Amino acid sequence: MSIRTKLSRDFFARPTVEVAPDLLGITLVRKMPDGSEVRAPIVEVEAYTEDDPACHAYRGLTERCRVMFGPPGFSYVYFIYGMYFCLNVVTEGEGTPGAILIRALGAPGCDGPGKLCRQWEIDRSLNAVDLLDPNSAIYLEAGTKYSARQISITERIGLSVATERLWRFFVTDHPHVSGKRNKTRSKSVAKR
């Protein structure tokens, strides 16, 4: 029997590293600009906290990361590498910054933080929206919780600092987890 994750403001008002694995299995819903709607479960995330050198809020409040200091359960969308957007969920109580980067969804073409935002047309216009409000253009919905034994934990990806923190969580063996380039490579493997 599977456990249904109950969403509430308090669910996100917890330590970021505790919320992160609990986010796996929760459904992300996006009302597309053309009126259609897409939904998929979160299958890979990374945690970022106040005392974390890799966190945008590490050096205090700036215009970019201001939403991280606000109430939990809101979106934090930022622009990176001159061409991609990344979607986060704000955590911790109001006044304490914290966020969880959504790195992959259980949907085609959503295996990577930049790719899923491109696929679902998520940009800065969706920054600071309430993800607990079904009226938002993007929001979260209760989903099936994964047990601890189905979750893998590793170092975060793409960082130059704080690489030792094991704050990346993903559904073990899930086909849509990021970093799976060359999925079907059986040709050059034999070389040795």
Q: Which spans of this chain sit near DNA (rule: CB under 7 A)?
A: 46, 48, 54-57, 59, 62-65, 68, 76, 78-84, 86, 88, 99, 101, 112-116, 156-160, 178, 181
Tracing tokens 């949907």 back to the chain, one arrives at 107
The distance of closest approach from Cβ of residue 115 to DNA in the complex, given in angstroms and rounded to an integer, is 4
The distance of closest approach from Cβ of residue 92 to DNA in the complex, given in angstroms and rounded to an integer, is 12
The distance of closest approach from Cβ of residue 103 to DNA in the complex, given in angstroms and rounded to an integer, is 7
What the block records as the tokens of 63 is 């215009």
* Minimum CB distance to DNA smaller for 107 or for 142: 107
- Distance, in Å, from the CA atom of 139 to the CA atom of 28, rounded to the nearest integer, reads 6
* Minimum CB distance to DNA smaller for 148 or for 189: 189
Please give the full DSSP string across 69-125, using - where no structure is assigned: GS-TTBEEEEEETTTEEEEEEE-SSTTS-EEEEEEEESSTT-BSHHHHHHHTT--GG
The distance of closest approach from Cβ of residue 15 to DNA in the complex, given in angstroms and rounded to an integer, is 15
The distance of closest approach from Cβ of residue 68 to DNA in the complex, given in angstroms and rounded to an integer, is 7
* Minimum CB distance to DNA smaller for 70 or for 142: 70
Hey, how many other C-beta atoms are within 10 angstroms of the C-beta on 43? 26
* Minimum CB distance to DNA smaller for 79 or for 142: 79
Single-letter code of the amino acid located at 91: T
User: Residue 41 is inside which H or E element, if any?
Assistant: strand 37-49
* Minimum CB distance to DNA smaller for 32 or for 80: 80
The distance of closest approach from Cβ of residue 73 to DNA in the complex, given in angstroms and rounded to an integer, is 15
* Minimum CB distance to DNA smaller for 35 or for 60: 60
- Distance, in Å, from the CA atom of 79 to the CA atom of 82, rounded to the nearest integer, reads 7
- Distance, in Å, from the CA atom of 169 to the CA atom of 62, rounded to the nearest integer, reads 27
